[in-house]
Amino acid sequence: MKHVELGSLVEVAYTLRANGPEGDELETCTEEAPFVFRVGADEALEAFEKGLMGKREGEPFELHIACEDAYGDETDDAVVPLPKETFMIDGKIDEEVMQVGEVVPMEDDEGNELVGVVVEIEADVVHVDFNHPLAGLDLHFEGVVVAIGQ
């Protein structure tokens, strides 16, 4: 019977909660729509992969991943003031994107995709938080290995 190892294509169903088994539910992946990733391809957290090593198809799992092994603490450095011109499309500012709480996809200088959330709007500056949405949280996964491929 196959087990999770380096290079495996793994399908898992799980419920993710913040800070422990009784925490707020953050995400659910069902057996019908599992999370699929290749072990060792930087598609999942390293601690998540480590916790699944050796598991077999159909085997349940429960993983607790500390904040520092997940997405780290939230940092003030990740809240960046951007000039309003950054949000111009076709010569005008997109007012729908310019609202507190709006998620804004952007790119850094190297073309890497970043996702930020608008946290404050001033006269000519928009403050965008680029912390990962799960930063500052311990993660608790409870689920099952649905399938293992090569």
Given this model, what pLDDT does residue 113 score?
82
Q: What is the DSSP string of the chain?
A: --B--TT-EEEEEEEEEESSTTS-EEEEE-SSS-EEEETTTTSS-HHHHHHHTT-BTT-EEEEEE-GGGTT----GGGEEEEEGGGGEETTEE-TTTSSTT-EEEEE-TT--EEEEEEEEE-SSEEEEE-S-TTTT--EEEEEEEEEEE-
pLDDT reading at 106 higher than 90: no
Among 8-22, 55-69, 102-116, where is mean pLDDT lowest?
Answer: 102-116
CA 55 – CA 73 distance, rounded (Å): 29
pLDDT, tens digit, for every residue of 87-98? 777 777 777 777
pLDDT, tens digit, for every residue of 1-18? 789 999 999 999 999 999
pLDDT reading at 81 higher than 90: yes
Query: What are the chain's domains?
Result: 9-72+134-149 (3.10.50.40), 76-129 (2.40.10.330)
Tokens representing residue 14 in the block: 């799980």
pLDDT reading at 102 higher than 90: no
Q: Is the pTM of this model over 0.75?
A: yes
Average pLDDT of the chain is 91
Tokens representing residue 16 in the block: 């993710």
